[in-house]
Structure 1
Amino acid sequence: MRVTKMHGLGNDYIYLAPAREDEHDWPELSRRVSDRHFGVGSDGLILALPSKVADVRMRIFNADGSEAEMCGNGIRCLVKFAIEEGLVPPDRNEVTVETLAGIKTVAVFRDNGVVTAARVDMGPPSFDPADLPAAVEETGPVIDLPLTIDGVDLRLTLVSMGNPHAIHYVQTDPAEFPLERIGPLVEHHPLFPRRVNFQVVQVLGPGEVRHRVWERGSGITLASGTSASAVAAASRLRGLTGDRIVDHMPGGDLILEWDGTGSVFMTGPAVRVFDAEWYT
């Protein structure tokens, strides 16, 4: 089976364009290829499939085999993959992608004819906790929701970008936060019946933040596009940042834009690492 490894800011996935959607047990394959010792090594598996309502359809499976609604870094790479594999016309400057979080429009940027980056219309954020879902009684926005996890006091801002996010703001470098310990406890907390992505964010100024993320189903990753989009929306909602920010993550920087209404727009790179044959 031919597989392609790609990444956006180190958030890496294995890409396939299967002839039939039912030809494999995708959750099991995702667990196997994602293993960084016995597989290829990745944060998950992404399928490029035909769509009746868009140029291409994306299915994404996390490293634990669970299926996610969307992936911001993954969708940029998916569009690059679709163009380079001939799934969409090679001269397209805009590609629509069907996801479980709705249809997303992706504008591509080229360098010497090669797709190197993309700007994604991530859709509007929702601050209604029912959209995550989260087991809270208020209708939202939910800001500074108190939650104590293993002795650590959190104040969570809840955002849905078609997938669920819980954001905790800190005054110091997020690298100092015990994300390895607290992340999985937040992800699996009963407050979030479908689990949650957990972000730790430091605001550096009105146009700049730094954050780390524990991703639902994958653990700590170097970057997350939907997380960065949620952080941009939450930070502007709280009056901490303006309409445009640079989000510094361990894997690199994303540019986020949200004017307080409508869609969040995310811009970042897309890199093809290698193609290989999967035998096991």
Structure 2
Amino acid sequence: FEVTCVQLGSPHCVIPVPDGPADEALARTVGAAVRDHAMFPGRINVELLDVIDRETLRIEIFERGAGYTLASGSSACAAAVAAHALNLTGSRVTVRMPGGEVQVGIGEDGGVTLTGVVRPVLQGRWAPGIGQRLSEGALA
């Protein structure tokens, strides 16, 4: 694989998959190997990239802290920036992920804009006392 690494507040390693499409199994295997590679001592987020066309990307995500992930705004932006830098896309793309899709725009100044729909995925209640324990750092 050839990779493109970008920094968007956190480090990302974008890997175009020439014989795509990438899937969860490949993301877990390649993602863990790249994330834990000695080249990235602080670990790195990994995106496997399928270029559908010049306006559409599809990614599978393996985050450095969470592992396999269904959707990530920073991962979508990293994939769009890398694809644009490689001249695979224009400056506005739709990025599809297993958990949904977003639109990413790249400005002439290099600024990145992320647009998408927010959907609740979980609703719950904190256990009594959890706020106090969090503020005391007891759960860190």
Q: 1:207 aligns with which of 55, 64, 67?
A: 55
Q: 1:258 aligns with which of 106, 110, 120?
A: 106
Give the structure with the larger strand fraction: 1
Aligned counterpart, 1:179 = 27
- Code of the aligned partner of 1:244: R
Q: Write the distance in 1 (CA, Å) between the matches of 2:63 and 2:24.
A: 18
1:167 aligns with 2:14: yes
Q: How many residues align?
A: 127
Unaligned runs of 5+ in 1: 1-153
Unaligned runs of 5+ in 2: 131-140
Q: Write the distance in 2 (CA, Å) between the matches of 1:251 and 1:223.
A: 5
Aligned counterpart, 1:226 = 74
TM-score for both structures, normalised by structure 1: 0.43
Superposed displacement of residue 275, structure 1? 3.5
Aligned-residue CA RMSD (Å): 1.7
Q: 1:116-169 CA distances to partner (integer Å, 9 max, x unpaired)?
A: xxxxxxxxxxxxxxxxxxxxxxxxxxxxxxxxxxxxxx2110100010000110
- Code of the aligned partner of 2:13: A
Aligned counterpart, 2:135 = none
**Is the radius of gyration larger for structure 1 or structure 2?**
1
Q: Percent identity?
A: 33
Q: 1:31-90 CA distances to partner (integer Å, 9 max, x unpaired)?
A: xxxxxxxxxxxxxxxxxxxxxxxxxxxxxxxxxxxxxxxxxxxxxxxxxxxxxxxxxxxx
Aligned counterpart, 2:127 = 278
1:158 aligns with 2:17: no
Higher relative contact order (CA 8 A, sep 6+): 1
Q: Write the distance in 1 (CA, Å) between the matches of 2:108 and 2:89.
A: 11
TM-score for both structures, normalised by structure 2: 0.83
Would you identify which runs of 4 or more consecutive aligned residues in structure 1 move more than 4 Å?
none
SS across alignment from 2:23: helix
